[in-house]
Structures are given as C-alpha cells and as structure tokens.
Amino acid sequence: MDMIRIKYLILLGLLMVIIPSLGLAGYKYRFDERMNQRGQYELGVAEKVTRGFTNVLYGWTEMARTPIDWGERIDKGKIQAVAIGIPYGILRMVGRTVVGVFEIGTCYVPQEPIFSPIEGDVV
C-alpha cells in the first residue's frame, strides 16, 4: 500500500472514533422524566442500552485513563502508576467492553450498573 492509502485509512479510523463521540458529547446519561413520559421499565431498558453502548464505545479509554488517574493520586508514585496502572487499565478496558456487550444483550432485564459511568472515578 502506498502512503496516501495508509493516511486515508488512518483518517477514516479516527473519524469512526470521533463521530460517535460528537453524538454523545452533550448527553446527560439519564433520561429526563418530564420530557420522556414512558414507564419505569422502558426507562431502565433505555438506560441499560445506553450504558452498554457507552461502555463498548469508550471502554478502550481505560487503558490510558487508569494510569493517568493513578499518577495524579498523591499516595501513588509515577513508577507505580506505570507498573500497575497500565496492566490494571488493560484489565478494566476488557472488563468494561465485556460488560457493555453483556448489558446490550440483556437490556430487557432491569439491573443496577456493574461499572460506574465512564466519567466516574477509578478505584
């Protein structure tokens, strides 16, 4: 492949990641009951599907976010953040993606979140 095709493939890949992000940029994560007069079951299903898609689409961010969050904590050093944070971030990435697929597949069964929302804190 020549370099122009590789550049176009990289650009296409970036657009595939960025465009879904733009759609969720202003999303509040919860449905407003005043605007959506559905029943509680439908709201639970919609929340679970949304949570599942968010986990699948953004689960890969745990790989970078976890070591950064560990490095910002006062009691953790930079070396520990890299040595432990990167493998832990990879495990969280896999876990969040698998849980997202599980939540999409079982959206009809109401359930409390397994993971905190993607913008939540890292333990």
Give the CA distances from residue 58 to residues 18, 42, 68, 97, in Å, rounded to whole numbers and listed in that order: 11, 24, 16, 8
R_g over Cα of the chain: 18
- State which residues form the domain around 97: 38-105
Domain total of the chain:
1
Let me know: does 78 contact 34? Beta carbons within 8 Å.
no
User: For residue range 10-63, what is the model confidence (pLDDT) as tens digits?
Assistant: 888 877 777 766 655 555 555 555 555 556 777 788 888 888 888 898 888 888
Is residue 17 a part of any domain in this protein? Answer: no
Q: Which two tokens stand for residue 35?
A: 């605007």
Indicate the pLDDT class of residue 122, thresholds 50, 70 and 90.
Answer: very low
Identify whether 65 is part of a domain: yes
- The reply to whether 93 falls in a domain is yes
pTM given for the model: 0.57
Side chain identity at 33, as an amino acid letter? E
